[in-house]
Chain A
Protein backbone atom coordinates (compact mmCIF):
# COMPACT_ATOMS: atom_id res chain seq x y z
CA UNK A 1 0.00 0.00 0.00
CA UNK A 2 2.80 2.42 0.87
CA UNK A 3 4.28 1.86 -2.59
CA UNK A 4 0.93 2.80 -4.15
CA UNK A 5 1.00 6.07 -2.19
CA UNK A 6 4.55 6.75 -3.38
CA UNK A 7 3.63 6.03 -7.02
CA UNK A 8 0.63 8.41 -6.87
CA UNK A 9 2.83 11.11 -5.32
CA UNK A 10 5.56 10.69 -7.93
CA UNK A 11 3.19 10.62 -10.92
CA UNK A 12 1.14 13.66 -9.87
CA UNK A 13 4.26 15.67 -9.03
CA UNK A 14 5.99 14.71 -12.28
CA UNK A 15 2.99 15.59 -14.45
CA UNK A 16 2.69 19.01 -12.81
CA UNK A 17 6.30 19.68 -13.78
CA UNK A 18 6.36 18.00 -17.18
CA UNK A 19 3.11 19.14 -18.80
CA UNK A 20 3.85 22.89 -18.77
CA UNK A 21 7.41 22.20 -20.02
CA UNK A 22 6.21 20.24 -23.03
CA UNK A 23 2.55 20.59 -23.99
CA UNK A 24 1.24 24.07 -23.42
CA UNK A 25 4.00 26.59 -23.02
CA UNK A 26 1.89 29.72 -22.86
CA UNK A 27 1.95 32.12 -19.94
CA UNK A 28 -0.96 32.15 -17.51
CA UNK A 29 -2.71 35.45 -18.18
CA UNK A 30 -5.46 35.34 -15.56
CA UNK A 31 -4.39 37.63 -12.75
CA UNK A 32 -6.47 35.89 -10.11
CA UNK A 33 -5.00 32.45 -10.88
CA UNK A 34 -1.47 33.87 -10.92
CA UNK A 35 -2.09 35.53 -7.55
CA UNK A 36 -3.55 32.34 -6.13
CA UNK A 37 -0.48 30.35 -7.21
CA UNK A 38 1.81 33.06 -5.86
CA UNK A 39 0.36 32.64 -2.35
CA UNK A 40 0.22 28.81 -2.36
CA UNK A 41 3.79 28.14 -1.11
CA UNK A 42 3.32 30.47 1.88
CA UNK A 43 -0.14 29.26 2.86
CA UNK A 44 0.64 25.57 2.49
CA UNK A 45 3.94 25.77 4.40
CA UNK A 46 2.20 27.70 7.19
CA UNK A 47 -0.75 25.32 7.35
CA UNK A 48 1.68 22.41 7.68
CA UNK A 49 3.72 24.17 10.37
CA UNK A 50 0.86 25.44 12.56
CA UNK A 51 -0.27 23.75 14.71
CA UNK A 52 1.77 20.63 13.69
CA UNK A 53 5.08 21.90 15.07
CA UNK A 54 3.66 22.08 18.62
CA UNK A 55 3.17 18.32 18.69
CA UNK A 56 6.43 17.34 16.98
CA UNK A 57 8.59 17.43 20.13
CA UNK A 58 8.37 16.11 23.69
CA UNK A 59 6.52 19.22 24.87
CA UNK A 60 4.60 22.12 23.22
CA UNK A 61 6.76 24.50 25.27
CA UNK A 62 10.02 23.33 23.72
CA UNK A 63 8.34 23.36 20.29
CA UNK A 64 7.23 26.97 20.83
CA UNK A 65 10.81 27.89 21.75
CA UNK A 66 11.99 26.26 18.52
CA UNK A 67 9.36 28.06 16.45
CA UNK A 68 10.15 31.47 17.98
CA UNK A 69 13.88 30.94 17.45
CA UNK A 70 13.24 30.02 13.81
CA UNK A 71 11.14 33.16 13.24
CA UNK A 72 13.79 35.34 14.92
CA UNK A 73 16.64 33.88 12.84
CA UNK A 74 14.60 34.06 9.63
CA UNK A 75 13.84 37.75 10.27
CA UNK A 76 17.57 38.35 10.53
CA UNK A 77 18.03 36.93 7.06
CA UNK A 78 19.69 33.65 8.06
CA UNK A 79 19.61 30.83 5.50
CA UNK A 80 17.45 27.70 5.57
CA UNK A 81 20.02 25.49 7.24
CA UNK A 82 20.92 28.03 9.94
CA UNK A 83 17.26 28.65 10.82
CA UNK A 84 16.53 24.93 11.06
CA UNK A 85 19.64 24.27 13.15
CA UNK A 86 18.72 27.13 15.49
CA UNK A 87 15.21 25.75 15.97
CA UNK A 88 16.61 22.29 16.80
CA UNK A 89 19.11 23.75 19.25
CA UNK A 90 16.37 25.76 21.02
CA UNK A 91 14.20 22.64 21.40
CA UNK A 92 17.15 20.63 22.71
CA UNK A 93 18.14 23.25 25.28
CA UNK A 94 14.59 23.92 26.53
CA UNK A 95 13.93 20.18 26.91
CA UNK A 96 17.09 19.81 29.00
CA UNK A 97 15.77 22.58 31.32
CA UNK A 98 12.23 21.17 31.51
CA UNK A 99 13.30 17.64 32.38
Chain B
Protein backbone atom coordinates (compact mmCIF):
# COMPACT_ATOMS: atom_id res chain seq x y z
CA UNK B 1 0.00 0.00 0.00
CA UNK B 2 1.39 3.37 -1.08
CA UNK B 3 0.40 5.75 1.72
CA UNK B 4 0.78 8.91 -0.33
CA UNK B 5 -1.55 7.59 -3.04
CA UNK B 6 -3.95 6.34 -0.38
CA UNK B 7 -4.09 9.75 1.32
CA UNK B 8 -4.67 11.39 -2.07
CA UNK B 9 -7.63 9.09 -2.60
CA UNK B 10 -9.02 9.79 0.87
CA UNK B 11 -8.90 13.53 0.21
CA UNK B 12 -10.68 13.20 -3.15
CA UNK B 13 -13.33 11.06 -1.48
CA UNK B 14 -14.34 13.67 1.13
CA UNK B 15 -16.76 15.70 -1.07
CA UNK B 16 -18.32 12.49 -2.43
CA UNK B 17 -18.82 11.19 1.11
CA UNK B 18 -20.48 14.46 2.19
CA UNK B 19 -22.90 14.29 -0.74
CA UNK B 20 -23.67 10.63 -0.07
CA UNK B 21 -24.37 11.33 3.59
CA UNK B 22 -27.24 13.65 2.69
CA UNK B 23 -28.63 11.49 -0.14
CA UNK B 24 -28.64 8.33 1.95
CA UNK B 25 -30.23 10.24 4.83
CA UNK B 26 -33.41 10.53 2.75
CA UNK B 27 -33.04 6.91 1.66
CA UNK B 28 -32.92 5.95 5.35
CA UNK B 29 -36.25 7.69 5.91
CA UNK B 30 -37.79 5.74 3.03
CA UNK B 31 -36.38 2.48 4.36
CA UNK B 32 -38.20 2.88 7.64
CA UNK B 33 -41.34 4.09 5.87
CA UNK B 34 -41.23 0.90 3.78
CA UNK B 35 -41.31 -1.25 6.89
CA UNK B 36 -37.66 -2.31 6.94
CA UNK B 37 -35.45 -2.07 10.01
CA UNK B 38 -32.53 0.33 10.43
CA UNK B 39 -30.13 -2.62 10.28
CA UNK B 40 -31.65 -3.90 7.03
CA UNK B 41 -31.38 -0.44 5.48
CA UNK B 42 -27.76 -0.10 6.59
CA UNK B 43 -26.94 -3.55 5.24
CA UNK B 44 -28.55 -2.71 1.90
CA UNK B 45 -26.56 0.52 1.60
CA UNK B 46 -23.28 -1.09 2.68
CA UNK B 47 -23.58 -3.98 0.22
CA UNK B 48 -25.10 -2.16 -2.77
CA UNK B 49 -23.64 1.36 -2.96
CA UNK B 50 -26.17 2.59 -5.52
CA UNK B 51 -28.97 5.13 -5.10
CA UNK B 52 -31.29 4.35 -8.04
CA UNK B 53 -30.81 0.59 -7.69
CA UNK B 54 -31.56 0.62 -3.96
CA UNK B 55 -34.56 2.86 -4.44
CA UNK B 56 -36.01 0.53 -7.07
CA UNK B 57 -35.12 -2.47 -4.91
CA UNK B 58 -37.00 -0.96 -2.00
CA UNK B 59 -40.07 -0.58 -4.24
CA UNK B 60 -39.86 -4.27 -5.19
CA UNK B 61 -39.61 -5.27 -1.51
CA UNK B 62 -42.55 -3.07 -0.49
CA UNK B 63 -44.66 -4.47 -3.35
CA UNK B 64 -43.70 -8.03 -2.36
CA UNK B 65 -42.17 -8.78 -5.77
CA UNK B 66 -40.39 -12.00 -6.67
CA UNK B 67 -36.62 -12.51 -6.38
CA UNK B 68 -36.43 -12.85 -10.17
CA UNK B 69 -38.12 -9.49 -10.53
CA UNK B 70 -35.62 -8.06 -8.05
CA UNK B 71 -32.66 -9.49 -9.97
CA UNK B 72 -34.00 -8.15 -13.29
CA UNK B 73 -34.70 -4.70 -11.84
CA UNK B 74 -31.19 -4.45 -10.45
CA UNK B 75 -29.70 -5.77 -13.67
CA UNK B 76 -31.41 -3.22 -15.91
CA UNK B 77 -30.99 -0.22 -13.64
CA UNK B 78 -27.39 -0.94 -12.72
CA UNK B 79 -26.27 -2.07 -16.16
CA UNK B 80 -24.66 1.31 -16.69
CA UNK B 81 -22.02 0.35 -14.10
CA UNK B 82 -20.78 -2.31 -16.51
CA UNK B 83 -19.93 0.51 -18.91
CA UNK B 84 -18.18 2.45 -16.16
CA UNK B 85 -16.21 -0.61 -15.05
CA UNK B 86 -15.15 -1.24 -18.65
CA UNK B 87 -13.98 2.33 -18.93
CA UNK B 88 -12.30 2.26 -15.50
CA UNK B 89 -10.42 -0.93 -16.32
CA UNK B 90 -8.63 0.92 -19.14
CA UNK B 91 -7.41 3.58 -16.68
CA UNK B 92 -6.03 1.26 -14.01
CA UNK B 93 -2.27 0.84 -13.69
CA UNK B 94 -0.93 -2.46 -15.01
CA UNK B 95 0.30 -3.25 -11.50
CA UNK B 96 -3.30 -3.66 -10.25
CA UNK B 97 -3.93 -7.37 -9.74
CA UNK B 98 -7.17 -9.25 -10.44
CA UNK B 99 -7.81 -9.61 -6.69
CA UNK B 100 -7.43 -5.84 -6.29
CA UNK B 101 -9.75 -5.27 -9.23
CA UNK B 102 -12.37 -7.38 -7.44
CA UNK B 103 -12.10 -5.01 -4.46
CA UNK B 104 -12.22 -1.84 -6.57
CA UNK B 105 -15.35 -3.11 -8.36
CA UNK B 106 -17.32 -3.05 -5.12
CA UNK B 107 -17.90 0.69 -4.98
CA UNK B 108 -17.51 1.82 -8.59
CA UNK B 109 -20.36 4.33 -8.27
CA UNK B 110 -21.21 7.15 -10.70
CA UNK B 111 -19.37 9.74 -8.60
CA UNK B 112 -16.33 7.64 -7.70
CA UNK B 113 -15.98 6.67 -11.35
CA UNK B 114 -16.21 10.31 -12.41
CA UNK B 115 -13.50 11.42 -9.96
CA UNK B 116 -11.25 8.45 -10.75
CA UNK B 117 -11.26 8.89 -14.53
CA UNK B 118 -11.00 12.66 -14.07
CA UNK B 119 -7.66 12.17 -12.30
CA UNK B 120 -6.03 11.78 -15.67
CA UNK B 121 -3.18 9.46 -14.65
CA UNK B 122 -2.90 5.73 -14.36
CA UNK B 123 -4.79 4.68 -11.23
CA UNK B 124 -3.22 2.63 -8.44
CA UNK B 125 -4.98 0.29 -6.04
CA UNK B 126 -3.90 2.49 -3.09
CA UNK B 127 -5.57 5.53 -4.62
CA UNK B 128 -8.79 3.67 -5.45
CA UNK B 129 -8.99 2.16 -1.96
CA UNK B 130 -8.54 5.59 -0.37
CA UNK B 131 -11.10 7.12 -2.72
CA UNK B 132 -13.79 4.55 -1.89
CA UNK B 133 -13.55 4.24 1.90
CA UNK B 134 -15.12 7.54 2.98
CA UNK B 135 -18.01 7.42 0.47
CA UNK B 136 -18.85 3.87 1.63
CA UNK B 137 -18.87 5.07 5.25
CA UNK B 138 -20.88 8.18 4.35
CA UNK B 139 -23.46 6.25 2.35
CA UNK B 140 -24.01 3.66 5.07
CA UNK B 141 -23.99 5.99 8.07
CA UNK B 142 -26.32 8.43 6.30
CA UNK B 143 -28.85 5.62 5.88
CA UNK B 144 -28.63 4.80 9.59
CA UNK B 145 -29.00 8.47 10.59
CA UNK B 146 -31.99 9.01 8.29
CA UNK B 147 -33.76 5.89 9.50
CA UNK B 148 -33.04 6.72 13.14
CA UNK B 149 -34.19 10.32 12.75
CA UNK B 150 -37.38 9.53 10.84
CA UNK B 151 -39.09 8.15 13.95
CA UNK B 152 -38.43 11.41 15.76
CA UNK B 153 -39.59 13.70 12.96
CA UNK B 154 -43.03 15.28 12.74
CA UNK B 155 -45.09 13.99 9.74
CA UNK B 156 -44.93 17.40 8.05
CA UNK B 157 -41.14 17.20 7.90
CA UNK B 158 -40.91 13.59 6.76
CA UNK B 159 -43.52 14.26 4.06
CA UNK B 160 -41.28 17.04 2.72
CA UNK B 161 -38.12 14.91 2.99
CA UNK B 162 -39.80 12.13 1.02
CA UNK B 163 -39.21 14.08 -2.19
CA UNK B 164 -35.46 14.50 -1.55
CA UNK B 165 -34.42 11.44 -3.52
CA UNK B 166 -36.82 12.28 -6.34
CA UNK B 167 -35.29 15.76 -6.34
CA UNK B 168 -31.87 14.25 -6.90
CA UNK B 169 -33.15 12.12 -9.75
CA UNK B 170 -34.55 15.28 -11.32
CA UNK B 171 -31.21 17.03 -10.75
CA UNK B 172 -29.48 14.34 -12.83
CA UNK B 173 -32.01 14.19 -15.67
CA UNK B 174 -33.22 17.79 -16.12
CA UNK B 175 -29.92 19.52 -17.07
CA UNK B 176 -29.12 16.81 -19.62
CA UNK B 177 -32.66 16.86 -21.02
CA UNK B 178 -32.26 20.58 -21.54
CA UNK B 179 -28.93 20.18 -23.34
CA UNK B 180 -29.94 17.23 -25.51
CA UNK B 181 -33.27 16.76 -27.27
CA UNK B 182 -32.54 13.04 -27.51
CA UNK B 183 -32.28 12.77 -23.71
CA UNK B 184 -35.45 14.87 -23.35
CA UNK B 185 -37.24 12.53 -25.77
CA UNK B 186 -36.00 9.43 -23.92
CA UNK B 187 -37.05 10.81 -20.52
CA UNK B 188 -40.47 11.98 -21.76
CA UNK B 189 -41.12 8.57 -23.32
CA UNK B 190 -40.11 6.81 -20.09
CA UNK B 191 -42.50 9.07 -18.12
CA UNK B 192 -45.29 8.31 -20.61
CA UNK B 193 -44.80 4.53 -20.36
CA UNK B 194 -44.57 4.71 -16.59
CA UNK B 195 -47.82 6.73 -16.34
CA UNK B 196 -49.55 4.42 -18.82
CA UNK B 197 -48.78 1.39 -16.68
CA UNK B 198 -49.75 3.22 -13.51
CA UNK B 199 -53.05 4.72 -14.64
CA UNK B 200 -54.51 2.32 -17.24
CA UNK B 201 -56.70 -0.10 -15.25
CA UNK B 202 -55.94 -3.09 -17.50
CA UNK B 203 -52.22 -2.71 -16.70
CA UNK B 204 -52.60 -2.20 -12.96
CA UNK B 205 -51.51 -5.79 -12.28
CA UNK B 206 -47.96 -4.89 -13.30
CA UNK B 207 -45.81 -4.41 -10.20
CA UNK B 208 -43.73 -1.28 -9.69
CA UNK B 209 -40.42 -3.08 -10.26
CA UNK B 210 -41.59 -4.50 -13.58
CA UNK B 211 -43.06 -1.12 -14.51
CA UNK B 212 -39.61 0.46 -14.05
CA UNK B 213 -37.95 -2.26 -16.16
CA UNK B 214 -40.51 -2.03 -18.99
CA UNK B 215 -40.45 1.77 -19.12
CA UNK B 216 -36.65 1.90 -18.99
CA UNK B 217 -36.09 -0.72 -21.68
CA UNK B 218 -38.81 0.53 -24.04
CA UNK B 219 -37.81 4.20 -23.82
CA UNK B 220 -34.04 3.50 -24.05
CA UNK B 221 -34.52 1.17 -27.03
CA UNK B 222 -36.66 3.72 -28.87
CA UNK B 223 -34.20 6.54 -28.15
CA UNK B 224 -31.20 4.41 -29.17
CA UNK B 225 -32.97 3.53 -32.43
CA UNK B 226 -33.99 7.10 -33.26
CA UNK B 227 -30.98 8.94 -31.82
CA UNK B 228 -27.91 6.67 -31.75
CA UNK B 229 -25.08 8.38 -29.82
CA UNK B 230 -21.71 9.21 -31.33
CA UNK B 231 -19.03 6.55 -31.12
CA UNK B 232 -16.70 8.26 -28.63
CA UNK B 233 -17.07 10.16 -25.40
CA UNK B 234 -20.53 8.98 -24.47
CA UNK B 235 -19.41 6.44 -21.92
CA UNK B 236 -17.03 8.87 -20.25
CA UNK B 237 -19.68 11.04 -18.67
| A contact set with B: CB distance below 8 Å | 2-6, 8-10, 12-14, 16-22, 25-28, 31-53, 56-58, 62-63, 66-67, 70-71, 73-75, 77-81, 83-89, 91-92, 95-96
18 interchain pairs, CB-CB under 8 A = A6-B48, A9-B74, A14-B105, A17-B84, A28-B83, A43-B219, A44-B212, A45-B172, A47-B219, A53-B166, A57-B159, A58-B159, A62-B159, A70-B166, A74-B173, A75-B175, A86-B167, A87-B163
Q: What is the distance, in angstroms, from A71's C-beta to the closest C-beta of chain B?
A: 5
Nearest Cβ in chain A — how far from B80, in angstroms? 5
Give the shortest distance, in Å, between B11 (CB) and chain A (any CB): 19
Which partner residue on chain A sits nearest B49 by CB separation?
A: A13
CA distance A74 to B105 in the complex (A): 30
| 0/1 interface trace, chain B 23-53, chain A, CB 8 Å (1 if under) | 1001000000000100010011001111011
Q: A17-B85, A84-B167, A95-B159 are in contact. Are A35 and B40 (CB under 8 A)?
A: no
B164 touches A88 (CB 8 A): yes
Check A42/B183 contact, CB under 8 A, given A17-B81, A37-B80: yes
- If A22-B101, A47-B191, A57-B160 touch, whether A13 touches B173 (CB-CB below 8 Å) is no
Contacts A21-B108, A87-B164, A95-B156; is A74 near B171 (CB within 8 Å)?
yes
Q: 1/0 per residue B114-156: CB within 8 Å of A?
A: 0000000000000000000000000000000000000000011
Q: Could you tell me which B residues sit within 8 Å of A by CB distance?
A: 19, 22-23, 26, 36, 40, 43-44, 47-50, 52-57, 59-61, 67, 70-71, 74-86, 88-90, 98, 101-102, 104-106, 108, 110, 155-157, 159-178, 182-183, 186-191, 193-195, 198-199, 208, 211-212, 215-216, 219-221, 223-225, 227-229, 231, 234-235
Inter-subunit contact B159/A49 (CB<8 Å):
no
Given contacts A52-B166, A74-B175, contact A92 B228 (CB under 8 A): no
Q: Which 7 A-B pairs have the closest CB atoms?
A: A87-B167, A35-B224, A84-B167, A74-B174, A47-B215, A83-B171, A18-B105
User: In terms of DSSP, what is the predominant structure of the interface of chain B?
Assistant: helix
B157 and chain A: residue at smallest CB distance: A92
Residues of chain B with a CB closer than 8 A to A43's CB: 186-187, 189-190, 215-216, 219-220, 223
Starting from the known contacts A38-B229, A47-B212, A48-B59, 6 additional A-B residue pairs (CB-CB under 8 Å) come to A9-B48, A44-B52, A47-B215, A58-B159, A85-B164, A88-B160
B220 and A4: CB pair below 8 A?
no
Query: Given contacts A40-B76, A46-B173, is CB(A89)–CB(B160) below 8 Å?
Result: yes
Contacts known (A28-B83, A95-B156); A21 close to B104, Cβ less than 8 A: yes
Instruction: Give chain B residues whose Cβ lies under 8 Å from the Cβ of A89.
Output: 160
Instruction: List the A residue with the shortest CB-CB distance to B75.
Output: A12
Partner among A2, A26, A28, A87 whose Cβ is within 8 Å of the Cβ of B36? A2
Q: Give Cα A4 to B194, complex, Å.
A: 27
